[in-house]
Structure 1
Amino acid sequence: MAVTTAQTLRMVFKNEAGSNFTLSLDNPRDTLTTAEIETVMDSIIAKNIFLTTGGPLVAKQDIKIIDRTTNDMYDPA
């Protein structure tokens, strides 16, 4: 039985239609700053890197780093 932990960086954008578009990246660098993430998000918006069904991304909506702990309770023999 093992306990594992993981992190996910979740960046949420608004598209032209007003819907949310979420981009998730596993295992972000521990020293990552909000300013660095915002700079990347601004670049994604400015360069129209993603086109969604609701149109291009137009604004930053949210930034989260999600921590997950998994406790494996059973391992078959």
Structure 2
Amino acid sequence: MSTARLEMSFRNAEGRRVTLSVLNPRGDLTGQEVREAMDAIVASNVFTSSGGDLVEVVGARLVSREVVELF
């Protein structure tokens, strides 16, 4: 069984890193699409953290994990 996760990293008002994860993202996502979505998240102040609003896009990555059952 394999799973995928999109991890989007932001910086909050206190300068700390905050990561939002999306399980099983669309397989054909482009960097440009993800960047535009992250810019929209920052601009709209939809999310906040214990350190305040998300104020800057740091980066994004796709993480895949494969689990093989042995018995």
Is the TM value for this pair above 0.5?
yes
Given candidates 37, 43, 49, the residue that maps to 2:34 is 37
**Which secondary structure does the structure 1 equivalent of 2:67 belong to?**
strand
Cα distance, 1:53 vs. partner?
0.9
Distance 1:62 1:36 in 2: 13
Provide the aligned length of Structure 1 versus Structure 2: 71
Cα distance, 1:63 vs. partner?
0.4
Give the alignment's TM-score, normalised by structure 1: 0.88
Residue 26 of structure 1 is matched in structure 2 by 23
| Residue 14 (structure 1) aligned with residue 15 (structure 2) | no
**Which secondary structure does the structure 2 equivalent of 1:71 belong to?**
coil
The percentage of counterpart residues that share the same residue type is 35
Cα distance, 1:73 vs. partner?
1.3
Ranges of 4+ aligned residues in structure 1 off by more than 4 Å: none
Structure 1 or 2, whichever has the larger Rg, is 1
Q: Which runs of 5+ in 1 are unaligned?
A: none
CA RMSD of aligned residues (A): 0.7
Cα distance, 1:19 vs. partner?
0.7
Given candidates 55, 59, 63, the residue that maps to 1:62 is 59
